[in-house]
């Protein structure tokens, strides 16, 4: 190319940048398309399931209540030994049921973790590795501005500028070819409801009412304000000096943060945690005479941090206002959970209702309100603080009360156990990654539920088997091997002392990984930096 032509093209490119008509960052590689035959097979199966006669027996099909906390650390629950936040209602649930000592989620971040719970499959198997996105940089100017923005703090734009078109974003979520637990149970004659946070897609085909839920109340995205505005009287709030927290406050209750009932935006004046409680109780009262699946994903204690003044007063001795509001949010949620369980008992549903309680991932240590101690790391990280979570199951008359179960279990087991115990027929060829926990808890099966557990997100790889856990970043070139029996806090890296064990775990991971899609359905944008034990890590957001 001669110099005048090159100079002209450089000038033209500069004009495009200046005027905002910059080179697009959108790419056709991120098209999301469903397998039409698989989708048709799924729809035919669900139609056939609906037409089958309802199972009749002297014992009706059990009801199911799945209660989920959002970013609640294992050691923010007093039944696990936490001293700073009393959670008497969660503790009581554990005292009347089974407390899982080593429960794991499939991802240390909200959305993929929830996808796994509702499908019973590792989300990586269908390309769901990161959060559904609401926005991508559409051109080089926006991308460069974000990549070089100082206000992002510990957040870092870490992907190349290749993103989906705007209309492809609406397809993000659990693939339509996957059948959710709600879809199965709805087709089997259960009344289904989600009361709380969805965060599994906001496009018209991805909202809860299209994915198996008869009734919906809550919001579609990652967060929402707990009160109508920051200025609502009678509440304390705390805004962290963090890009993500400030963004969530600025969103208020717009877009996916809006409160909706069956896809219609509603005005909610009550504190959101208590509104979720009240809607759940209302559902129980209205449907106590039929089999139901009630999914109650609270938004607490996810940011933005807001709590009623009366609950903050309970923690007046806590000097740090950030922690005070956080503790108050957990206490309020614990009371709301207690009210729901009380209603179950009042309605005489206790002996025929399976109740689950779990957190979608570990506590968000980057808020400064929790550190997940004695576990290392927190939300976003693949250390124990990010993936080892509080988990309780209660089923009166079927499970021993006050039992503590120590072998590793997975959030994937919620789907398998529920489907098995409710007699739900699954589609032919449906391969679940969880197991039915009941035989292990009753002693009918010996051994352990899971020989191996796996994690993958972009450059992070992890596998756990028995006492050993391997974790690595293939991009950043670090690797750790821990013995969790002796070192649950992950302080001693044993890779050099145990090269054969390390190789075996890597081989286990590679075998699992070889059956997964090479890339996810959509790209993420950022990593977040963590300094843990004096070392710098970047984990996918």
Q: Could you give the CA distance from residue 376 to residue 429 in angstroms, rounded to a whole number? A: 39
Buried b (16+ CB within 10 A) or exposed e, 162-184: ebbeeebbbbbbbbbebbbbbbb
pLDDT tens-digit series, residues 153-208:
999 999 999 999 988 999 999 999 999 999 999 999 999 999 999 999 999 999 99
pLDDT tens-digit series, residues 98-142:
999 999 999 999 999 999 999 999 999 999 999 999 889 989 988
pLDDT tens-digit series, residues 510-519:
999 999 998 9
Question: Which residues pair with residue 235 across a beta bridge?
Answer: 308
Nearest C-alpha neighbor of 185 from the set 292, 281, 296, 279: 292
Contact assessment for residue 61 and residue 422, using Cβ atoms and an 8 Å cutoff:
yes
Count of beta carbons in the 10 Å neighbourhood of residue 14: 10
pTM of the model: 0.94
pLDDT tens-digit series, residues 204-241:
999 999 999 999 999 999 999 999 988 899 999 999 98
Contact assessment for residue 330 and residue 300, using Cβ atoms and an 8 Å cutoff:
yes
Residue 22: its pLDDT value, please? 64
pLDDT at residue 331 greater than cutoff 60: yes
Nearest C-alpha neighbor of 147 from the set 25, 10, 30: 25
Q: Could you give the CA distance from residue 279 to residue 266 in angstroms, rounded to a whole number? A: 13
Residue 53: its pLDDT value, please? 64
Average the pLDDT over 389-416 and give the result. 97
pLDDT tens-digit series, residues 86-96:
999 999 999 99
């Amino acid at each position: 190319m001669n110099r005048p032509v090159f100079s002209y093209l450089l000038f033209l490119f500069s004009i495009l940048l200046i005027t905002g008509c910059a080179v697009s960052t959108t790419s056709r590689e991120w098209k999301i398309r469903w397998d039409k035959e698989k989708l048709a097979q799924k729809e035919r199966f669900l139609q056939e399931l609906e037409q089958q006669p309802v199972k009749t027996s002297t014992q009706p099909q059990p009801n199911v209540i799945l209660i989920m906390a959002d970013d609640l650390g294992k050691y923010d629950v007093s039944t696990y030994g936490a001293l700073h936040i009393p959670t008497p209602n969660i503790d009581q649930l554990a005292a009347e049921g089974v407390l899982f000592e080593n429960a794991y989620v499939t991802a240390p971040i909200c959305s993929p973790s929830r996808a796994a719970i509702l499908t019973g499959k590792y989300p990586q198997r269908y390309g769901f590795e990161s959060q559904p996105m609401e926005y991508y940089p559409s051109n080089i100017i926006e991308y460069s501005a974000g990549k070089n923005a100082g206000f992002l703090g510990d957040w870092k734009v870490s992907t190349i500028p290749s993103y989906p078109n705007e209309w492809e974003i609406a397809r993000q979520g659990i693939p339509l070819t996957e059948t959710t637990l709600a879809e199965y149970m709805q087709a089997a004659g259960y009344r289904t409801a989600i009361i709380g946070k969805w965060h599994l897609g906001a496009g018209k085909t991805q909202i809860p009412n299209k994915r198996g839920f008869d009734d919906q109340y809550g919001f579609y995205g990652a967060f929402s304000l707990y009160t109508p505005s920051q200025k609502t009287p009678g509440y304390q709030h705390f805004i962290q000096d963090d890009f993500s927290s400030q963004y969530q406050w600025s969103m208020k209750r717009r877009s996916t943060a809006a409160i909706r009932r069956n896809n219609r935006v509603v005005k909610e004046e009550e504190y959101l945690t208590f509104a979720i409680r009240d809607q759940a109780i209302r559902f129980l009262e209205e449907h106590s005479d039929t089999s139901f699946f009630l999914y109650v994903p609270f938004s607490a204690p996810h940011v933005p941090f807001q709590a009623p003044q009366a609950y903050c007063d309970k923690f007046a001795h806590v000097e740090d206002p950030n922690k005070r509001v956080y503790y108050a949010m957990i206490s309020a949620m614990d009371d709301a959970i207690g009210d729901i369980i009380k209603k179950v008992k009042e309605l005489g549903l206790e002996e025929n209702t399976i109740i689950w309680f779990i957190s979608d991932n570990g506590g968000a240590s980057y808020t400064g309100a929790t550190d997940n101690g004695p576990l290392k790391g927190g939300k976003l990280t693949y250390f124990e603080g990010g993936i080892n979570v509080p988990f309780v199951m209660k089923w009166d008359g079927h499970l021993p009360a006050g039992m503590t179960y120590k072998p590793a279990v997975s959030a994937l087991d919620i789907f398998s156990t529920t489907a098995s115990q409710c007699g739900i027929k699954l589609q032919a060829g449906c391969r679940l990654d969880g197991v039915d926990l009941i035989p292990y808890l009753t002693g009918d099966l010996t051994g352990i539920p899971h020989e191996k557990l796996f994690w993958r997100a972009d450059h992070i790889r992890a596998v756990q088997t028995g006492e050993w856990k391997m974790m690595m970043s293939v991009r950043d070139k670090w690797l750790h091997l821990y013995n969790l029996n002796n070192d649950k806090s992950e302080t001693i890296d044993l890779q050099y002392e145990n090269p054969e064990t390390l190789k075996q775990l890597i081989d286990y991971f590679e075998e699992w990984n070889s059956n997964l899609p090479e890339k996810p359905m959509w790209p993420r944008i950022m990593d977040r930096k963590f300094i843990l034990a004096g070392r710098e890590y970047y984990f996918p957001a």
